[in-house]
Amino acid sequence: MSQENEHVKCLIIGSGPAGYTAAIYAARADLKPVLYTGLLVGGQLTQTTEVENYPGYPDGIQGPEMMLNFEKQASRLGTDIRFGYVSSVDFSSQPHKVVIDESKTVLADTVIISTGASAKWLGLESEQKYNGFGVSACAVCDGFFFRGQDVAIVGAGDTAAEEATYLAKLCRKVYMLVRRDEFRASKAMVHRVLNTHNIEILYNSETKEILGDGQVVTGLRVFNNKTGAEKDLDITGFFVAIGHHPNTEIFKGWIDMDENGYIITQSGSSKTNIEGVFACGDAQDHVYRQAITAAGTGCMAAIDAERYLAAREHAIPA
């Protein structure tokens, strides 16, 4: 039998903590969810190493292993998990049309968007080489591992300033690389950075190379973009805080978003501007961006979808 135009009750797009948690709840509500993983199966957590701040793992757990556990649980409860990516959507009528891998159309009564966000990187080969081994895009996630050590952070906005002051509480010294001769951050955040004694700001500075011993980060080569002068810093941790971009491009024109592309949900819910379409995780959260908050909103999305379907089923015909 051809699977073209397959009809499902609940389609989940994305396989991070939000998507898998939505799947767990949707499966238990007998929505028979179908989940498409996207190209990065397991999401951002598969690109990190030790996770110590997720409740229930007293000794910590490796990110990839944790996401495998999420997947196994969703599958055991009845989620149909498939590898594939969503190439386009049409939310103009019910059921919603979602095209997978540019070839197959799925008709879905409810759609849960959990496509996440991706950290912006500098684009250095050494940055990817040591990602998870001294290089991180999340100070709140990984700063703990660098207690009492010297680290560097690159960025000049509010997030960078906030993460620098967070790291300063844990680390002996924080070098902050600012590309221009001024911050982009708000005055209040700049004031906080300038008044933190163990943050050293390097203006007009850019990263040339992340130095390492083949296994972990051991230093950083920076250059002054005005004078061209180079110098090496002895550090063990390098944090990139130049922003994130939500993976929401395919929903543009259908779903309401803020100026940065994050999906706007109704306050206290996962509902979007389209009936029957819900959003959870980092695709709609630019504030917290943690696995635990993503999982929480995934739970909300599944409950919202279940209630939406129940209300529709019991609606009195006009």
**Is 10 known to be catalytic?**
no
Q: Which of 80, 138, 158, 299 is catalytic?
A: 138
8 A C-beta contact, residue 262 and residue 287 = no
In this prediction, residue 236 carries a pLDDT of: 97
Q: Is the pTM of this model over 0.85?
A: no
In this prediction, residue 4 carries a pLDDT of: 60
Q: Which residues contact 135 (CB under 8 A, 6 or more apart)?
A: 127, 210, 217, 237, 238, 239, 240
Q: 10-residue block means of pLDDT along the chain (318 residues)?
A: 76 97 98 95 81 92 94 98 96 96 95 94 94 92 94 93 95 97 90 96 96 96 95 97 93 97 97 98 93 97 98 74
Q: What six digits make up the tokens of 151?
A: 């680290």
**Is 280 known to be catalytic?**
no
Q: Which of 109, 142, 282, 304 is catalytic?
A: 142
What is the fold, at CATH topology level, of the domain defined by 6-118+244-313? FAD/NAD(P)-binding domain (3.50.50)
Q: What six digits make up the tokens of 87?
A: 């190439």
Q: What does the domain layout of the chain look like in residue ranges?
A: 6-118+244-313, 121-240
Q: Whose CA is closest to 139, among 113, 119, 115, 117?
A: 119
8 A C-beta contact, residue 283 and residue 262 = yes
Pick the CATH number of 121-240 from 3.50.50.60, 3.30.830.10, 3.10.310.10, 3.40.50.880: 3.50.50.60
Same fold, 6-118+244-313 and 121-240: yes
Q: Which of 141, 150, 171, 304 is catalytic?
A: 141
Neighbours of 52 (CB within 10 A): 13
In this prediction, residue 316 carries a pLDDT of: 58
User: Strands 199-202 and 173-177, how do they pair?
Assistant: parallel
The 3-state secondary structure of 244-277, one letter per residue: EEECCHHHCCCCCECCCCCECCCCCCCECCCCCE
